[in-house]
Amino acid sequence: MAWKALDRNDGPPRAEGDRLSEAVKARIRVFFDRYETKRAVLLPALHIVQDEFGYVGWRAMEDIAELLELPPSEVFDAVTFYTYFWTHPRGRKVITVCRSASCEVMGSEGILAECKNVLGISEHQTTPDGNYSLQTEECLAQCDHAPCMKINERTYSCVKVSEVRGILEDPNNDRLDIPRSDLYDGAKRYGAV
């Protein structure tokens, strides 16, 4: 009996995607002198590429492999192991609803249901306008503020079902009020292409 992977391979088949620009490659090369091997730059590279394209496509994996002097299969191996990386396009904003034990006893299922209701999508899907994707995560380490969710990098604490629509309709709902580090960002965010 085959055990279906819980949520990793759901969604459309593998996306080919774009090749890495020189600007993205330059951002990845910044990490080379931090580690003894080029291979160790793989996770930073995946973060940068996912920030650039929204996901890690097949051509991007090939380019990362070339850059880090690895077989593409090793890149694919890591990409599909770590749940943070998507292999198909995501929306501009990714909503992550926590489903840990604390959040579940505090009502996270209601939050997830309301997100699905407002956006009309289910987990690991993207709205037709490309604005939102929805996913769940095991624990966001915000259990004192359960139930919680994230929109891109921003955390929402003690979320009530009645607040979800308002949060999703706010155009600035992913804006952080702290200074960001651009270390793991793609090149596009800076117009450096």
Nearest to 86 by CA among 183, 23, 14: 14
Cβ 108 to other proteins shortest distance, Å: 10
Cβ distance to other proteins smaller for residue 102 or 173: 102
Read off the amino acid at residue 164. Answer: V
Cβ 176 to other proteins shortest distance, Å: 6
Cβ 128 to other proteins shortest distance, Å: 26
47-50, Cβ contacts within 8 angstroms, sequence gap of 24 or more: 47/184, 48/24, 48/184, 48/185, 48/186, 49/20, 49/24, 49/186, 50/84, 50/85, 50/86, 50/186
Cβ 22 to other proteins shortest distance, Å: 22
Cβ distance to other proteins smaller for residue 40 or 165: 40
Cβ distance to other proteins smaller for residue 109 or 165: 109
* 8 A C-beta contact, residue 93 and residue 152: yes
* 8 A C-beta contact, residue 100 and residue 138: yes
The residue ranges that bind other proteins (CB under 8 A) are 1, 3, 6-7, 34-37, 39-44, 46-47, 68, 70, 74, 77-78, 81-85, 96, 99-106, 137-146, 150, 152-155, 176, 178-181, 183-184
